[in-house]
Amino acid sequence: MTDAPETPDAPAPDVLAYELTINGRSHSVPSAWLGESLLYVLRERLGLPGSKNACDQGECGSCSIQLDGDLVCSCCVLAADAVDADVRTVEGVASYSGRGGGAAEDELSDVQQAFLDEGAVQCGFCIPGLIVSVHHLLDREPDADELTVREAISGNLCRCTGYGRILQAIATVQERRSGAGTPGAPAVGGGS
Amino acid sequence: MSISRPTDLDGALSALAERPDAHVLAGGTDLVVEVNLGHRRPDAIVAIRRVAELREHRLDDTHLELGATVTYGTVERELVDAAPGLAMAARTVGSPQIRNAGTIGGNLGTASPAGDTLPWLAALDAEVVLVSAAEGERVLPLAEYITGPKRTARRPDELIRAVRVPRVAGPQHVAKIGPRNAMVIAVASLAIVVDTDHRRVRVGLGSVGPVPVRPTAAEDLASDALDWDALTCDEDAMTRFAAACADASTPIDDHRSTAEYRRHAVGVLAARSLRRCLT
Amino acid sequence: MSTTTAPPGARGDVRDGIGRTVDRPDGTPKVSGGFAFSSDLHHDGMLWGRTLRSPHPHARIVSIDTTKAAAMPGVACVLTADDVPGEPNFGLEHHDQPVFARDVVRFHGEAIAAVAAEHPEQALRAVQAIEVEYEVLEPLTDPEAAIDADPIHPDGNLFRHLPLRHGDPDATGEVTVEGTYEVGMQDQAFLGPESGMAIPTEDGGVELLISTQWLHVDHGQVAACLGLPEDKVHLTLAGVGGAFGAREDVSLQVHVCLLALATGRPVKIQYSREESFHGHVHRHPARMWFRHTANRDGDLVKLEARLLLDGGAYTSTSPAVLANAVCFAGGPYVFPNAVIDGWAVRTNNPPCGAMRGFGVVQVCFGHEAQMDKLADALGMDPVELRLRNAMAPGSPLLTGQIITGTAPVREVIEACIAHPHPDDPSEDGPPMALPGGAGLTAERGDVRRGTGIAVSIKNLMYSEGFDDYSTARARLELGPDGVPFATIRCAAAEVGQGFVTLAQQIARSELHVQRVELDPADTSIGSAGSTSASRQTWMSGGAVQLACRAVREVLLARAAEREGEPVTGSRRVRFDLRGHEVVDLDTGVAVPVADLLAAGPIDETREHHHAPTDPLDEDGQGNAHVSFAFAAHRATVDVDPDLGLVRVVQIATGQDVGKALNPRAVTGQIEGGIAQGLGLAVMEEIVVDDGHIRNPSFTDYLIPTALDMPPVAQTLIEQPEPGAPFGAKGVGEPPTISSTPAIVAAIRAATGKDITRVPVRPQDICL
């Protein structure tokens, strides 16, 4: 990561054309530079800026997406290599999330709603990535205990909240998904 | 400018033979980051995530073979029994997002002194299987494969196909130090395998030298001192083992830590890890 | 656990007024990805800007050749110092920082040139193609040496020397303790890197969409540097991804406007994380010496301190940061006598300025370590020593100023320590929960637990005679549905803290309307001051309240007129807004607000100034501050003494909030502030080596993850502050201030090590 920059004389010609499938829809990228990350293409070429650009090196989770069902950082995915992959971003989370997700795009998923209900949002820059990560977690481990939850979101940095309300929101989703009864092992947020 | 997206190994090798200047792209957690930061500007890329045979791991009676694009996430979830130390190491890599993308071949390809799986691979005398269209396969011991910090013996037309380690019985542990409880580059790390098949204590050290360190004198000392039937070791030998591990390290001062701390930490990790492996 | 008692909400059937836990108006777009942060801005035909920065901390610029860069594909323009038409320098307090370095660079990362190109990659390549010949100079990096060294700037190396003499400087006592303490350079590390877009306007001016903390202070600096009258430069707040002080200073504002004006096209600049670390000010590193003198019974007699803040290459807010450090060097305790000297100096290190806590964070680390040391020397319980000397209403500060408002120091301490301690560590607990986390470095037996406490005082709003004010406009009108609604306009920067929610709450409570719209924050209205110094709830909240009350007065006047009453005089008491009607209290006649608005909207703008303050005199004495907030923190930590790794297990806190206007939002501020205090305690530091930043990335500048931040047990102490709108004190800064020393005290308790520096590095504990 400390390599000297290569010679800067080469231009950045727009030579590549490819198709991407984002949230179930096909998008064509008619002319792009090879070096563009999926995050860049989502934000700057496809008008999907929900995935955020905070570090460009996989150290903050703000750009989290699901790639063929795997939670990854879209800044570490080469856009031109994401052809034929199923890419899911925060913009599609309400319509694809299995539990509690509404069909309509303007509806909120249960995770999004809980983030609002528990005051988990301050500046909000980390929130889209967290929403994607929390869906990924709870769809696979609905009864994740607190430490599991903390580890699962440890790649999503938040600078405003100290995570307390975020953990509370996740616990609330778990409670709501498990119905009126108490969940097996709910995550417990910090707080009063 | 080109990207090739082969779906099988032959396709990947011929793509690489055509463009030996191509950068090999697997999980992207190193290469794409370097492109983002302007440190690398590839004209050609061979993207290997579609190559099914590279994604597989195979276990037989004697060996574990991991395809180059097996992710840390897969190791962490699926190899807890077969390779417990490697699973522990994999779980310390970056974040869940990075572990879902990053690959064992990528750790080997980048060959950073802080590569999290490398101490365990070193401890087990792993072999790196390289393959090219022109010359087929060649197998290099890890110690010959990694030639320096971020330097390897891989030729530009070669692909890392797999890494192979012997299956050995006995307890293992991997410990990694960072000043944060998750998502951190190793300040120092240690892998230990108490190989009861060969009655050999095997150790690998990370982030304390330009390449993964095998503290062979310490291994000899512990292997001799261990009561292999009871799996015990007296405190004095344990202390000497720890000191020998620390002595084998050649750490540096940098923005992440100091040489003095790293050497000290290796000693502490050595004693603790061996103790954890014993009864 | 909280002592919060929700006060009644708005009158009538209006929901979500003051005192309620209320949802953010920007919450839904923020969770769905639709909220437009400044980095999300896009404009057809826009160019990408990029800055060339100095690789050297100190060098003479021999020559700059942009020919090659300007000829590169996609490049629209390349600008240097020669292209700045207006003032060559900018700065918050003193204009001493060049827009682009001309003859000399004074810090690693200083801007030298800027490029606009069609694609960000082309902009990057063009920046790398600019040829700069440097004559590298020896950097001045030792702040102590800076005071007497040859000046590295025409304005000299001393930003401010502030002496404070209080009481009898020769007073003596029976017990003294002294210590030297050091604070490393912390970064605000907000998640959304600096970004903004400039769009040229037809009148030759420019529209700037920008994430900032203070639109109007940017506005003045930008217009001056562009050489444009202020009315040709218009700023609108774009979505802000956190701030914490780092957005008070100008970063890319002038550059992006210059590029837009030069090319006649919209230009966007978005810093990379690395550039962000170079492109904004940091928390001042500090070296501090303290000597505390007390009598045997534990009464404090005298404070002596010498404080040195490294301000880096340019002034920024160094003088004000220093004033805070000096004024609050003793913490929330009464000292009859004090002798303090503080210096803020210029070096070739990265510039430092505002960060949450603003000068108080540094001294709190020192004075709380000293209080523990003193308690130890006296053989006294550290909590008892603090309670014995705690400030209270009527207490004097070190500046001689008497606290006329609330000062619940005893209360915050008692509430903090009343929280139950966390459970003892269990033998079979998950190893992931131990120090070292996922690294599996420790077992239970390797770990020792410790507990520590710390208490803080923080001034709210601007001090030292600054005319601090905010402006707000309230408009009340009928909606198309015939239902009255309000619109609030205020330039207060929403940076995540929730002012937008509060503005709606205030309007609901004051005007009894459910629907409250918020106009964009921009420079078409007067200044709101900065979103800093824990001031917006008080200052802009107060301005919104005043504007709403002015609207209400007009409403009552309309009702009075309708009743044939004169508009002046007794109507104030005779008419009142009750629910959705204005009621004549004498006659009982009620007129619906909707009817009164038939005559047209009511639109009022008001400024809110806080009580005036005085400058400090030559002895550092005077009524320089407005109001004070207090907090206590108790930290419980698990430490692995042999490896020096730390896991914070719990933070308990009592915090003086005056009145919680949105209790859940207060909790969010407390938890978030503590996380930044934890970061400074155990992991966060910009490593500067011979003037070079060695870790400008999230790989190496570590901020706490969810596995580092413990649960927080909190109690809000609600004693309404006289003179404060709704009795509320700002809540953002105190959590960051005393959490750091509490954690370090707990590490000392667990290890027996005399730790005098933050962040505490593993080697500080185990070597």
What are B75-119's pLDDT values in tens digits?
999 999 999 999 999 999 999 999 999 999 999 999 999 999 999
Which residues neighbour B16 within 8 Å (Cβ) at sequence distance 6 or greater?
B22, B24, B46, B132, B133, B156, B157, B158, B159
Nearest CA-CA distance, residue C214 and chain B, Å: 30
Strands B200-206 vs B188-195: parallel, antiparallel or unpaired: antiparallel
Token pair for residue C461? 């709003």
Interchain CB distance below 8 Å, C711 and A108: no
What are the chain A neighbours of C698 within 8 Å (beta carbons)? 54-55, 57, 59-60, 157
Cα–Cα distance measured from residue C346 to residue C141, given in angstroms and rounded to the nearest whole number: 9
Nearest CA-CA distance, residue A60 and chain C, Å: 7
What is the model's pLDDT at position B268?
98
What is the model's pLDDT at position A15?
73
| Whether B43 contacts chain C with CB within 8 A | no
Strands C206-210 vs C233-237: parallel, antiparallel or unpaired: parallel
Could you give phi then psi for residue B11, rounded to 5 degrees?
-60, -40
A148 neighbors A141 (Cβ within 8 angstroms): yes
Q: How many CA atoms lie within 13 A of C198 on its CB side?
A: 29
Chain A contact probe: residue of B5, B31, B32 with most A CBs at under 10 A = B32
With a cut of 50, say whether residue A192 has pLDDT above it: no
Model confidence band, residue C429 (pLDDT cutoffs 50, 70, 90): confident
C574 neighbors C565 (Cβ within 8 angstroms): yes
- For C708-726, what is the HEC assignment? CCCCEEEEEECCCCCCCHH
What is the largest distance, in Å, between two alpha-carbon atoms of chain C?
Answer: 85
C528 neighbors C472 (Cβ within 8 angstroms): yes
Residue B60, amino acid? D
What are the chain A neighbours of B182 within 8 Å (beta carbons)? 151, 154-155
Q: What percent of chain C has pLDDT over 90?
A: 95
Interchain CB distance below 8 Å, B97 and A73: yes
| C272, C436, C699 ranked by CB distance to B181: nearest | C436
The region, left, alpha or beta by phi > 0 then psi within -120 to 50, assigned to residue C615 is beta
Question: What's this model's pTM, rounded to 2 decimal places?
Answer: 0.96
Q: Which residue spans within chain B are E strands per DSSP?
A: 2-4, 23-25, 44-47, 57-59, 63-67, 127-132, 136-141, 146-148, 151-152, 159-166, 172-177, 188-195, 200-206
Looking at the DSSP bridge assignments, the partners of residue C296 are: none
Residue C547, amino acid? A
C136 neighbors C94 (Cβ within 8 angstroms): no
With a cut of 90, say whether residue A100 has pLDDT above it: no
| Whether B101 contacts chain A with CB within 8 A | yes
| Whether B29 contacts chain A with CB within 8 A | yes
C441 neighbors C435 (Cβ within 8 angstroms): yes
List, as one string, the DSSP characters of C732-745: SSHHHHHHHHHHHH
With a cut of 80, say whether residue C4 has pLDDT above it: no
Cα–Cα distance measured from residue C26 to residue C536, given in angstroms and rounded to the nearest whole number: 18
Our CA dihedral for A106, A111, A113, A118, rounded to 10 degrees, sits at -160
Interchain CB distance below 8 Å, B5 and A154: no
| Whether B96 contacts chain A with CB within 8 A | yes
Cα–Cα distance measured from residue C52 to residue C55, given in angstroms and rounded to the nearest whole number: 9
**Cα distances (Å, whole numbers) of residue B19 to A5, A35, B9, B24, C591:** 21, 17, 15, 11, 83
Give chains near A: 3+ CB pairs under 8 A: B, C
With a cut of 80, say whether residue C12 has pLDDT above it: no
Chain B contact probe: residue of A81, A86, A141 with most B CBs at under 10 A = A81
Could you give phi then psi for residue C718, rounded to 5 degrees?
-105, 100
Q: Which of C400, C375, C401 is nearest to C388 (CA)?
A: C375
Cα–Cα distance measured from residue C663 to residue C401, given in angstroms and rounded to the nearest whole number: 31
Nearest CA-CA distance, residue B52 and chain C, Å: 30
Interchain CB distance below 8 Å, A154 and B36: no
Cα–Cα distance measured from residue C362 to residue C736, given in angstroms and rounded to the nearest whole number: 11
Cα–Cα distance measured from residue B203 to residue B191, given in angstroms and rounded to the nearest whole number: 6
Nearest C-alpha in B relative to C445: B272
Comparing A3-7, A155-159, B138-142, B191-195, the range with the smallest average pLDDT is A3-7
With a cut of 80, say whether residue C1 has pLDDT above it: no
C260 neighbors C199 (Cβ within 8 angstroms): yes
Q: Which residue spans within C238-393 are E strands per DSSP?
A: 267-270, 286-294, 300-310, 337-345
With a cut of 80, say whether residue C284 has pLDDT above it: yes
Interchain CB distance below 8 Å, C439 and B261: no
Tens-digit pLDDT profile for residues C24-66? 999 999 999 999 999 999 999 999 999 999 999 999 999 999 9
Chain C contact probe: residue of B180, B254, B278 with most C CBs at under 10 A = B180
